[in-house]
Amino acid sequence: MSSVVKVLVLSFTFGNFGDFGNPFVSFVVKVLVGLYMRRYVILTNRKRAIIALVHTVAFLALAVATGAITVQSLHAGSRASAWIVASIFLLVTIALLALTVISGPLRERLYFACCTTSAGFGLARQLLGDQHLPVAVYVRVAMLACAVFLGVVILREHSAPVPAP
């Protein structure tokens, strides 16, 4: 890491970041500092990363298992269970979208974005049915597979030994 970036990271870390006079330069510096600083906001430790990864793997298995089931579109005469599943998908999508918005570095944001996309396509599949959105099953599985990959990467970062200063 170059000495300029080290100075920027240290000044940002200790709150002495300052204003560079030019909004574009300030933006570029903040982006560069963000690339070198991996401060997770939600997946802050190994335990949280493991819990998130276990949930993602479980939902990936569920998405694969329910992919073989044909889903009809929701309408006024639909069963109550179909409405309940759609409501759950809606709540989960909203919660994951909020986590995506508040997440920190790019890996964490992509992880939650993949999970949100999967839940959103699950909701769309419940609302529209398989006849109008046949690709939803494949998108859900692909997004959860990407989330599992990113979760493993994040977990490995938490598992890596911290280098001595």
> What pLDDT does 30 receive?
63
- In the DSSP assignment, the letter for residue 164 is P
Together in a domain, 82 and 151: yes
Is it the case that residue 21 has pLDDT exceeding 80? no
Closest by Cα among 120, 115, 123, 118 to 138:
118
Q: Chain-wide mean pLDDT for the chain?
A: 84
Residue 38 confidence (pLDDT) above 90:
no
- Identify whether 95 is part of a domain: yes
The tokens for 138 are 């494949």
Convert the pLDDT of each residue in 107-130 to its tens digit.
999 999 999 999 999 999 999 988
Q: Is 37's pLDDT higher than 60? A: no
Q: Is residue 165 a part of any domain in this protein? A: no
Report the domain count for the chain: 2
> 90 and 10 share a domain?
no
Which stretch of 102-106, 115-119, 142-146 has the lowest confidence by average pLDDT? Answer: 102-106
